[in-house]
Structure 1
Amino acid sequence: MSDTASHAVILFAHGSRDPLWRLPMEAVAARLARRAPGLLVRCAYLELTQPDLPTAAADLARAGATQVAITPMFLGAGRHVREDLPALVEQLKAAHPGVIWTLRPPVGEDERLLDLLAEIAAEQSLE
């Protein structure tokens, strides 16, 4: 994905009532924004935390995004990723037809993340 202002990423997570829960998500968003300064980056949540996906998506459309990749920040592809999220993305396509919405696989399906998690667990087991 290019780092022009017309491109954007939404980091999509479940959400929690605990306000501290969102800190790692926001840290990922900040790191992504530093790596690609022209890229529009937002966090969005399924429930219990704001903004929700339609709100973050509308914000990006207003900001001029024409291509938005939605990255599910889930380790596994449960019902929310398999059913709820695709339905939400279809709603975004209808609400913002001038934007190309791409639903990425959940981060937990990426071999690099799985390797890193195994590495962290192995290091911690040796402490």
Structure 2
Amino acid sequence: MKGIVLFGHGSRDAAWRQPIEAVAARIAAQADAPAVRCAYLELCAPDFATATAELVELGVTELRVLPMFLGMGRHAREDLPALVHVLQERCPHLSIQVLPPVGEHPGALDLFAQLATL
């Protein structure tokens, strides 16, 4: 079974989560959608460990992690790999793929340029 974690920084402001949760809802609405969870580094729940534990409990064996960051900063470069390492040790059967930050995807870059010139 496949699963996706949308991983963001987190914020005390509950409205900050809405775009990430909207992406999760759009994934979940697709036919044959993988299980999807949002996870946050700090300041709000669920954290990475909780979200991934839920997915493993559902039977996920293949996990894709999408960092919801514009670029490869410290959180994507250091914090996320450390969390993934702990998860991999806890669940050695789990196949984990960490994708590049969403803001580095060529399609996202094209969209940002298009939005700026509307």
**Normalising by the residue count of structure 2, what TM-score does the alignment of the two structures yield?**
0.96
Question: Which residue, 52, 58, 73 being the options, matches 2:47?
Answer: 52
Deviation at 1:36, TM superposition (A): 4.1
Q: Could you say which residue in structure 1 is the equivalent of 2:87?
A: 92
Q: Given residue 25 of structure 1, which amino acid in structure 2 is its aligned partner?
A: I
SS where residue 116 of structure 1 aligns?
A: helix
SS where residue 35 of structure 1 aligns?
A: coil
Q: Given residue 116 of structure 1, which amino acid in structure 2 is its aligned partner?
A: L
Q: Equivalents in 1 of 2:24, 2:40: separation in Å?
A: 13
SS where residue 62 of structure 1 aligns?
A: helix
Q: Could you say which residue in structure 2 is the equivalent of 1:18?
A: 13
Structure of larger gyration radius: 1
Asked if residue 65 in structure 1 is aligned to residue 54 in structure 2, the reply is no
Instruction: Check whether the contact 2:67–2:102 (CA below 8 A) recurs between aligned residues.
Output: yes
Of 97-106 and 66-75, more deviation after overlay is shown by 97-106
Query: Which stretches in structure 1 are left out of the alignment for 5+ residues?
Result: 1-5
1:20-74 residue CA offsets vs partner (Å, 9 max, x unmatched): 1101110000001112444100000000010000100000000000000000010
Stretches of 4+ moved more than 4 A in 1?
none
Query: Which stretches in structure 2 are left out of the alignment for 5+ residues?
Result: none
1:70-117 residue CA offsets vs partner (Å, 9 max, x unmatched): 000100110111111111100000111121111111111101001101
Question: Which residue, 96, 103, 114 being the options, matches 1:119?
Answer: 114
Q: Given residue 83 of structure 2, which amino acid in structure 1 is its aligned partner?
A: L
SS where residue 77 of structure 1 aligns?
A: coil
Q: Could you say which residue in structure 2 is the equivalent of 1:41?
A: 36
Question: Which residue, 86, 103, 111 being the options, matches 1:108?
Answer: 103
- Percent identity over the alignment is 53
Question: Which residue, 53, 67, 75 being the options, matches 2:70?
Answer: 75
